[in-house]
């Protein structure tokens, strides 16, 4: 007997069964939703791309960034969409598999930033949570954007009205909250803080200050009352500093937020706290209750800091077996040249060892957690001191990463010294310069006292044994950020213009790509349509020369999103021929004007155009700029702000005499570089100054 109805019933049953089946879950690590990746360690558990098939890795797509001035930033990827911030936080959303742009949002920060354009560049990272993209802006806003449409949902100003704080660091998201810090302590009397907002409404939930204010006005909490006992003099008039301008870390195990604080304002402790003291909570990791923002514990890497030794670098979380016991730890490599392992529960020091040349301290006492300092490094009694590391740090904003499979931390390290000395005059009369001029409380080093040439390396460090596993010396004073994966890979961009992937266990170079420009930003990896991708943004945002045979030219390089996958089919267009502009020339250089111009340049120009006007690609090379040769054009750009939309700030307070001094100094430097090129003289010492992206 035939039963023709069975086939449709069976098909219907199968459809019902399929409909009832849950969707296949994305693999762990499929998304890279924030600055630190799937965890806080710049590590991905993905292994579709691995050491065994890395030879098949090819360019899948690329995107030329058309937003000035630079895009030294970490992208994120969620649900098959890649998001990144270009220039001054212009947010892009792109199909992660094809590179097709879906939307773009421009907060037009350059219109509102004013003098804050002088202090920093764009945003170093963004965050995704609950269907929203969160970004800070250089003018101090925090903005929530609908991740699907690109429409802003809310915007709040996170800094005080008319102050000199600005935002360049990534927001941190957790439990329906978004937290943002700020920078600015290198320029003005700034008191640092972090602020938490509700993700849905933008309502402020809590704020934690990192240094105490004026005692006469009372203290916000017992932590500030405790901290005030470690300061002397009238520190609040100088701001104090301690800005949280770079990274943080959220710890779900303890529901805590760890924040890393920056340098004192000014750097020189003899000015801001003349009687000494630890100056809490400068250069510290502070643990806060994530719900309330209340203080839990702190660890200070540099009590009484006086060298710009930020603890604003990566805070990475792990569980390590130490002395036979599994312990939850923080791993941290701040500027000061030591690698720290802390107990996450208590904040107590477990171990600390040097990872580069260090002479400001002999070691860190594990019993007290305090450094055993070299007194001469504090440049006492007006005596200059050559100190290692420099304010650039042993490790700076370029991300380190931790791979739990190898047990190693991968750190882009620099070995570099700097001469510190007090400024001339009565230190009690020193004041911040204002107007976003670099204002550190230190003086120009003697011309006959210069540090040796800097070096850099990629260091693989064992945090349990506190020993080096391997070290790869690199060309240039600094190189790119890192990320690592379960595929036994560690990725890093190079100053020389390559993007390299190494074996995470051995450090052997497995794969290399010609990026046509330096790669400094952090790489990420994620899944889209069942395929693993690797993305990095290429471009040289070196404010000064980094020791290459030919430094990167701002006008030559193309900022670009590079995305790779196994068996990718894309190719980059041919590299354009470099623009070989000659050094500017003049027959008339007034030495008096040039000397005055040198001081103006160091305070106002060196952060972007490089110490001693030797550019590294972050901004145009002034030694080859025809604008310098024409007084009217020079005034139109600097005084009138002709190029503000392109990220070039205006300086309306500069007099015609100061502008002329700048022109004479730049011409003098061009003549000196011509003599160096001809072998007639050695390169002169660089002007002082670095804020390193706060």
Instruction: Give the separation between CA 623 and CA 24, rounded to whole angstroms.
Output: 58
* 228, 220 contact by CB (below 8 A): no
Q: Is the peptide bond before 92 cis (omega within 30 degrees of 0)?
A: no
- The torsion of the CA quartet 303, 307, 311, 314, rounded to 10 degrees, works out to -150
Of 6, 27, 3, the closest CA to residue 525 belongs to 27
Of 391, 351, 357, the closest CA to residue 374 belongs to 357
- The torsion of the CA quartet 326, 329, 332, 336, rounded to 10 degrees, works out to -90
Instruction: Give the separation between CA 479 and CA 398, rounded to whole angstroms.
Output: 8
Q: Give the helix/strand (H/E) hosting 44.
A: strand 43-44
- Catalytic-labelled residue, pool 308, 500, 556, 650: 308
Instruction: Give the separation between CA 229 and CA 633, rounded to whole angstroms.
Output: 53
Of 86, 92, 89, the closest CA to residue 113 belongs to 89
State yes or no: is 514 an active-site residue. no
What does the DSSP 8-state code read for residue 191? B
What does the DSSP 8-state code read for residue 166? B
Find all residues with CB under 8 Å of 262, minimum gap 6, and list them: 183, 185, 192, 241, 242, 243, 244, 245, 246, 282, 283, 310, 311, 312, 694
Q: Which residue's structure tokens are 């963004």?
A: 126
Length of the chain: 694
Of 355, 349, 385, the closest CA to residue 370 belongs to 349
The C-alpha angle 318, 324, 325, rounded to 5 degrees, equals 50
Q: Which residue's structure tokens are 């943002």?
A: 180
Alpha helices per DSSP H over 98-219: 109-113
Instruction: Give the separation between CA 230 and CA 455, rounded to whole angstroms.
Output: 36
Instruction: Give the separation between CA 192 and CA 167, rounded to whole angstroms.
Output: 12
Helix 656-677 × helix 591-604 angle, to 10°: 100
185: left (phi over 0), alpha (psi -120 to 50) or beta: alpha
Alpha helices per DSSP H over 156-289: 222-228, 269-272
Please provide the DSSP assignment of 449-517 as one string: --PPPPEEEEEEEETTTTEEEEEEEESSS----EEEETTTEEEEE-TTSEEEEEETTT--EEEEEE-SS
Terminal alpha carbon distance of the chain: 83
* 300, 283 contact by CB (below 8 A): yes
Active-site residues, by number, are: 308
């Amino acid at each position: 007997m035939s039963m023709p109805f069975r086939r449709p019933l069976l098909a219907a049953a199968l459809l019902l069964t399929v409909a009832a089946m849950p969707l296949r879950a994305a693999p762990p690590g499929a998304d890279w939703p924030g600055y630190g990746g799937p965890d806080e360690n710049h590590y991905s558990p993905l292994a579709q791309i691995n050491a065994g098939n890395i030879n098949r890795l090819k360019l899948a797509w690329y995107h030329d960034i058309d937003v000035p001035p630079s895009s030294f930033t970490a992208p994120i990827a969620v649900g098959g969409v890649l998001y990144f911030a270009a220039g001054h936080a212009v947010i892009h959303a792109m199909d992660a598999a094809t590179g097709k742009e879906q939307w773009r949002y421009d907060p037009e920060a350059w219109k509102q930033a004013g003098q804050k354009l002088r202090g920093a560049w764009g945003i170093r990272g963004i965050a995704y949570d609950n269907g929203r993209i969160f970004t800070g802006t250089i003018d101090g806003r925090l903005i929530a954007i609908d991740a699907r449409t690109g429409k802003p949902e809310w915007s709040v100003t996170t800094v005080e009205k008319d102050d000199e704080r600005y935002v360049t660091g990534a927001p941190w998201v957790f439990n329906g909250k978004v937290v943002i810090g700020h920078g600015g302590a290198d320029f003005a009397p700034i008191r640092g803080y972090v602020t938490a907002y509700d993700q849905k409404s933008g309502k402020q939930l809590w704020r934690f200050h990192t240094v105490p204010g004026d005692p006469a006005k009372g203290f916000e909490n017992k932590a500030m009352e405790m901290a005030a006992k470690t300061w002397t003099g009238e520190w609040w008039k100088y701001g104090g500093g301690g800005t949280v301008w770079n990274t943080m870390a959220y710890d779900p195990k303890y529901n805590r937020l760890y924040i890393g604080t920056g340098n004192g304002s000014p750097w020189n402790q003899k000015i801001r706290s003349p009687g000494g003291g630890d100056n809490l909570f400068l250069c510290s990791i502070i643990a806060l209750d994530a719900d309330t923002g209340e203080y839990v514990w702190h660890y200070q890497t540099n009590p009484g800091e006086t060298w710009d030794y930020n603890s604003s670098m990566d805070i990475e979380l792990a569980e390590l077996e130490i002395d036979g016991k599994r312990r939850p730890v923080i791993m941290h490599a701040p500027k000061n040249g030591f690698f720290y392992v802390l107990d996450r529960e208590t904040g107590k020091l477990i171990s600390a060892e040097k990872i580069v040349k260090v002479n400001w301290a002999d070691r860190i006492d594990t019993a007290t957690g305090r450094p055993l300092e070299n007194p001469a490094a504090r440049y006492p009694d007006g005596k200059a001191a050559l100190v290692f590391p420099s304010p650039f740090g042993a490790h700076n904003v370029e991300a380190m990463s931790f791979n739990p499979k190898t047990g190693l931390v991968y750190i882009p390290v620099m070995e570099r010294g700097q001469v510190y000395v007090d400024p001339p005059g009565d230190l009690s009369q020193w004041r911040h310069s204002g107007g976003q001029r670099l204002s550190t409380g230190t003086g120009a080093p003697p011309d006959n006292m210069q540090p040796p040439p800097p070096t850099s390396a990629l260091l693989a460090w064992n945090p349990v044994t506190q020993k080096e596993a391997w070290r790869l010396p690199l060309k240039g004073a600094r190189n790119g950020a890192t990320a690592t994966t379960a595929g036994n890979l560690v990725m890093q961009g190079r100053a020389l213009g390559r993007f390299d992937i190494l074996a995470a266990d051995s450090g052997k170079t497995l794969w290399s790509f010609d990026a046509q420009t330096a790669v400094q930003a952090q790489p990420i990896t994620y899944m889209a349509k069942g395929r693993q991708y690797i993305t990095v943004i290429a471009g040289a945002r070196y404010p000064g020369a980094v020791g290459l045979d030919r430094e990167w030219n701002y006008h030559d390089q193309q900022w670009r999103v590079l995305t790779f996958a196994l068996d990718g089919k894309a190719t980059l267009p041919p590299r354009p021929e470099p623009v070989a502009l000659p050094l500017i020339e003049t027959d008339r250089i007034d030495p008096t004007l040039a000397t005055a111009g040198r001081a103006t340049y160091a305070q106002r120009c060196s952060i972007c155009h490089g110490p001693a006007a030797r550019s590294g690609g972050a901004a145009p090379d002034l030694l080859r700029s025809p604008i310098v040769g024409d007084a009217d054009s020079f005034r139109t750009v600097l005084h009138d702000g002709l190029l503000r939309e392109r990220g070039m700030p205006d300086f309306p307070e500069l007099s015609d005499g100061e502008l002329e001094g700048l022109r004479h100094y730049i011409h003098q430097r061009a003549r000196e570089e011509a003599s160096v090129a001809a072998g007639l003289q050695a390169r002169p010492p660089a002007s002082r100054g670095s804020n390193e992206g706060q």
